[in-house]
């Protein structure tokens, strides 16, 4: 199963096990060396129907992707004829085709009525990863020792946890632990979660059915993936699940993107800089890692020369800026009021209204900006309702904080005006000192 590819070394290995309770294995997996396509599927339905559903799902997805290898090649070669959205649409179409095929067999054969499967697929193209996901199998990314769950469980347990009905630690003993809210094949079509993201040399992935993830704790994952030989990892994970109960079938696929000297550090720094910049903003503080990646896909990087006025006082705009590299000066009424450095942001209110900019921001030297436009922001709101709820809540908190600050400033101004009538020289010097010390650092 292990192979080096022309896009950089990719190592992978997979294993599946019936577990200690079930009498047959309804899980299936797929690894395709040529496509760099990896899939885990956990079937359901009983009487071998689950095994039929999971096998049909992985094979159908592979067939659809294989028929469109030209699209993959075009994206890898940066041919503008194919975009990342085209690849995500391809994966979604592949899962929908699998869904239809499974459902039609279930209708034709009464003993298979109601069968279905989870499906989590990872496609690696160059330095880009693409995911299609339905159900409660999972895909984890491990990058520089940090674990990120890239998929969300479509399960009753997850819904109960999010609504505060049960605690996360109670999920393993819940009678609803195996109930999924989405599956491939139960109905003629299914809602598919898709995601694309930067895949950095050194990244590692786990694709696993819930027979493993139900026992595996996130903080244990980096150590489990630390083996130099990737072929030993799946069996170690299966042994762990069986030692802790083995109540379900257990399947996992391990994918490792080998380091590329001279490339890995540069790409990793670039990706982490963008992610950390977004996470550092109050607007995005409540987003999960996968949601931050979705927002990131709607941004662009802009190179700006020294001396360029990025926003101008009194002019309207529709873009949020985050400084990735460089330094900027903020001026208001011709006076310098603040300097902004890496990680600082400005212009967030332009995402929701057309009010004139309150200050001018100028690049002091060559700068790189992460830019999110109002149109792209509204695209996120329309297409990602769960993310939209978090963003709107964060926006409300930002506005509340701004209103509170404004109220305090007005209260302080009134008090200063009252005191100035008594000691004008002393109060005036204090006001100037406060203005310098508390100059705004963002969001003109």
Do 122 and 201 lie in one domain? The reply is yes
Q: What is the pLDDT of residue 1?
A: 47
- Going from the first residue of the chain to its last (444 residues), give the mean pLDDT of each consecutive group of 10, the final group possibly shorter: 51 97 95 96 87 97 97 94 96 98 95 95 96 98 93 88 73 74 96 94 96 95 94 97 96 92 76 88 86 92 95 93 95 93 90 89 95 93 83 79 76 67 43 34 44
Q: Are residues 171 and 272 in the same domain?
A: no
Rounded to whole angstroms, the Cα distance separating 420 from 435 reads 16
Provide the pLDDT for residue 349. 84
Q: Are residues 201 and 328 in the same domain?
A: no
Contact 201, 271 (CB under 8 A): no
Residue 37 pairs with which residues in a beta bridge?
Answer: 32, 123
- Written as six digits, the tokens of 102 are 């499974």
Are residues 293 and 377 both part of a single domain?
yes
CATH of the domain at 271: 2.60.120.10
Residues 6+ apart with CB under 8 A from 428: 420
Q: Among positive and negative, which fits the CA dihedral 376, 382, 386, 391? A: positive
Q: How far apart are the first and last CA of the chain?
A: 55
Note down the domain range covering 337. Answer: 262-444
Asked if 314 and 171 sit in the same domain, the reply is: no
Same domain? 191 vs 303:
no
Query: Per the structure, how many domains does the chain have?
Result: 2
Sequence-ordered strand ranges (E) for 65-223: 116-117, 119-125, 128-134, 138-143, 146-149, 193-198, 204-208
Could you tell me how many residues make up the chain?
444
pLDDT, residue 389, reads 83
pLDDT of amino acid 162:
72
Q: What is the CATH number of the domain that holds 90?
A: 3.60.40.10
pLDDT at 47: 66
Do residues 63 and 203 both lie within one domain? Answer: yes
Q: Please check whether residues 290 and 224 belong to one and the same domain.
A: no
What is the rounded distance in angstroms from the CA atom of residue 223 to the CA atom of residue 57? 32
């Amino acid at each position: 199963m292990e192979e080096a590819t022309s896009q950089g070394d990719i190592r992978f290995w997979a294993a599946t096990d019936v577990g200690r309770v079930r009498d047959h294995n309804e899980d299936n997996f797929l690894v395709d060396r040529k496509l760099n396509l990896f899939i885990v599927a956990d079937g359901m339905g009983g009487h071998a129907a689950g095994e039929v559903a999971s096998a049909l799902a992985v094979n159908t997805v592979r067939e659809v992707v294989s028929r469109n290898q030209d699209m993959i090649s075009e994206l890898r070669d940066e041919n503008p004829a194919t975009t990342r959205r085209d690849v995500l649409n391809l994966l979604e179409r592949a899962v929908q085709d699998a869904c239809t095929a499974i459902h039609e067999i279930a209708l034709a054969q009464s003993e298979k009525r109601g069968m279905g499967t989870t499906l989590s697929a990872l496609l690696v193209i160059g330095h880009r990863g693409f995911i299609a996901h339905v159900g409660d199998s999972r895909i984890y990314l491990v990058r520089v020792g940090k674990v990120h769950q890239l998929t969300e469980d479509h399960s009753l347990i997850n819904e109960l946890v999010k609504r505060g009905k049960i605690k996360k630690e109670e999920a393993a003993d819940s009678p609803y632990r195996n109930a999924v809210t989405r599956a491939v094949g139960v109905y003629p079509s299914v809602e598919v979660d898709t995601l694309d993201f930067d895949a950095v040399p050194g990244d590692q992935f786990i694709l696993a059915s819930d027979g493993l993830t139900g026992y595996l704790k996130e903080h244990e994952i980096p150590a489990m993936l630390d083996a130099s030989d990737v072929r030993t990892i799946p069996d170690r994970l299966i042994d762990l699940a069986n030692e802790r109960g083995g109540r379900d079938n257990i399947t996992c696929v391990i994918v490792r993107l080998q380091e590329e000297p001279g490339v890995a550090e540069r790409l990793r720094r670039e990706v982490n800089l963008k992610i950390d910049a977004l996470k550092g903003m109050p607007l995005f503080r409540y987003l999960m890692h996968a949601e931050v990646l979705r927002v990131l896909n709607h941004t662009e990087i802009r190179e700006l020369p020294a001396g360029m006025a990025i926003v101008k006082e009194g002019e309207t705009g529709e873009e949020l800026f985050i400084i990735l590299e460089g330094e900027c000066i903020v001026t208001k009424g011709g006076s310098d009021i603040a300097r902004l450095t890496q990680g600082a942001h400005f212009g967030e209110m332009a995402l929701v209204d057309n009010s004139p900019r309150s200050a001018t921001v100028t690049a002091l030297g060559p700068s790189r900006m992460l830019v999110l436009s109002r149109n792209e922001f509204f695209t996120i709101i329309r297409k990602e309702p769960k993310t939209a709820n978090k963003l709107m809540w964060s926006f409300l908190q930002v506005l509340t904080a701004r209103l509170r600050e404004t109220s305090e400033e007005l209260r302080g101004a009134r008090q200063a005006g009252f005191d100035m009538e008594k000691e004008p020289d002393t109060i005036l010097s204090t006001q100037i000192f406060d203005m310098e010390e508390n100059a705004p650092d963002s969001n003109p």
